[in-house]
């Protein structure tokens, strides 16, 4: 049974649909909640892989969030040990930072449903090749990462060129959110800090529009998350079959 370390930054940024997929696939998970315990220093050597979740902070806000320094060091150790790593949103930015790439403000925030298109390299990748061309994917970010040296560019969107990358054979950064379902999106739209993100777009982004679009795209997103995350699990020595989630 593989043991997985999971970094969490805020209460509403969770594994989402990844949680039952991981449990049904035989993983044992250890959460590190840096919001509650910013001084935590887990040992990656005790685990078989790492998932780094999202959060509203910037990777350079280390004075306010000193745990970000710890996380980057642990990510580096995981990479050096050739352990599977998955970074989602902030997690992808921390992964890029650990690999020496710059993280900066995106030209505009992406909040809601956006077209994400695999690159030519992405169409050949075991995970991103599960996309059926351009797909509507859920997003919530204001920052972006430069592509790390040696990484493979896997996907892009109109407003954010670097949506996904792979480093080596088993290290992935996803700027987008494949892990959300309807309930989680509803929760995010009610978070005060998230409401401010939308208000700061001066009407360019609307929570009502996001909510209207969600029933149109959520079934495909969950099907895609089952396929993509299920393929990522193949990087672990698991014998159990992945039990996919129903689309809803």
Considering 9, 89, 110, 141, which one is annotated as catalytic? 89
pLDDT confidence of residue 235: 84
pLDDT confidence of residue 232: 94
- For the whole model, what pTM was predicted? 0.94
Q: Which two tokens stand for residue 183?
A: 């309930």
Which region holds residue 74: left if phi is over 0, alpha if psi is between -120 and 50, else beta? alpha
Determine whether 89 is an active site residue: yes
User: Smallest Cα–Cα separation from 121: which of 157, 82, 91, 151?
Assistant: 151
Determine whether 160 is an active site residue: no
Considering 9, 110, 141, 177, which one is annotated as catalytic? 177
**Secondary structure class of 32 (helix, strand, coil):** strand
pLDDT confidence of residue 244: 45
Q: Which two tokens stand for residue 91?
A: 């997690």
pLDDT confidence of residue 239: 35
Determine whether 12 is an active site residue: no
pLDDT confidence of residue 158: 97
CB 94 within 8 A of CB 52: yes
Torsion of CA 1, 30, 67, 178, to 10 degrees: 80
Q: How far apart are the first and last CA of the chain?
A: 29
Considering 13, 110, 135, 179, which one is annotated as catalytic? 179
pLDDT average per 10 residues of sequence, the chain (248 residues): 94 96 94 96 96 97 97 98 97 98 97 98 98 98 98 98 97 98 98 96 96 98 97 71 44
Looking from the CA of 193 toward its CB, the CA atoms found within 13 Å total: 10
User: Smallest Cα–Cα separation from 9: which of 170, 191, 148, 160?
Assistant: 191
The 8-class DSSP code of residue 130 comes to G
CB 134 within 8 A of CB 169: no
User: Smallest Cα–Cα separation from 163: which of 235, 171, 172, 239?
Assistant: 172
User: Smallest Cα–Cα separation from 188: which of 33, 16, 30?
Assistant: 16
- Looking at CATH, the fold of the domain delimited by 3-233 is given as Rossmann fold (3.40.50)
């Amino acid at each position: 049974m593989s043991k997985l370390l999971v970094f969490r930054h805020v209460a509403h940024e969770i594994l989402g649909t990844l949680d039952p997929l991981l449990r049904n696939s035989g993983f044992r998970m250890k959460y590190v909640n840096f919001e509650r315990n910013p001084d935590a220093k887990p040992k990656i050597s005790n685990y078989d892989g790492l998932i780094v979740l999202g959060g509203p902070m910037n990777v350079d806000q280390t004075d306010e969030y000193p745990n970000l320094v710890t996380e980057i060091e642990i990510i580096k150790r995981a990479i050096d040990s050739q352990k599977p790593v998955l970074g989602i949103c902030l997690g992808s930015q921390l992964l890029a930072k650990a690999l020496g790439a710059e993280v900066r403000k995106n030209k505009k925030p992406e909040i809601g449903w956006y077209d994400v298109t695999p690159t030519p390299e992405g169409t050949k990748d075991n995970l991103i090749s599960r996309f059926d061309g351009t797909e509507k994917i859920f997003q919530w970010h204001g920052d972006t990462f430069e592509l790390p040296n040696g990484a493979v560019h896997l996907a892009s969107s109109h407003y954010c060129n670097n949506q996904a990358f792979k480093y080596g054979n088993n290290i992935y950064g996803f700027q987008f959110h494949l892990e959300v379902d309807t309930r989680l999106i509803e929760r995010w739209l009610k978070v005060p800090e998230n409401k401010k993100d939308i208000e700061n777009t001066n009407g360019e982004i609307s929570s009502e529009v996001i909510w209207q679009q969600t029933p149109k795209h959520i079934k495909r997103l969950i099907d895609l998350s089952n396929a993509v995350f299920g393929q990522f699990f193949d990087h672990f020595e698991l014998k159990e079959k992945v039990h996919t989630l129903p689309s809803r």
